Structure 1
Amino acid sequence: MTAVEHVVDGSELRTKRAVLQAFARALSFPDYFGANLDALYDCLTDLSWLPDGAHRLHWTHAEVLRRSDPAAFAGISEVLADAVAANPRLTVQVSA
């Protein structure tokens, strides 16, 4: 079974907030999403509002955030890795 792909174009995303908002849009996060790293983890490990099956988050041009805010990039990357480990329905690809 092929995963549903959710693409986030990071070519213009230079802040943690912008990336989190883009993830929320791409994955149709519920309105209660708190736009912080804890909330990102909570939503990525749930995904109950999405159709059953596998989902793949593909973050392109992630180097834009890595260059503009290395700490934010590191924090988001850590949450993505932790969420993938906790949620068998989720895979993540981060591309430069």
Structure 2
Amino acid sequence: MGENETKFENQTNGRCGKERNKGVPSLQALYERKHEEKEKARMEKEAIIAAKKEERERAKARRNSTREKMFKRTQKGQPVMKYRIEHLLETIGASTNH
């Protein structure tokens, strides 16, 4: 019996059962913390992706509206100059601001 107890004690590095279980909660806490960090990183990534998608949709809508204005024609088939002049003024204004 004394020999078996010594073997068991050597396998657990001389710890009792209660002391041996102290490592488990720290591992659980470590797992939870890592899981929360991963979840937080995933949420941030999703937010960035959603923002980029929204920006792409706004840019596409802006391009489509500009395109529709540029393709407008008068009754005789001539392009409507109002929208073309507005576009030129916007580009000139943007170039002077930079």
Same fold (TM over 0.5): no
Larger radius of gyration: 2
TM-score of the superposed pair, with normalisation by structure 1: 0.25
Q: Which structure ranks higher in relative contact order (CA pairs < 8 Å, sequence separation ≥ 6)?
A: 1
Structure holding more strand per residue: 1
TM-score of the superposed pair, with normalisation by structure 2: 0.25
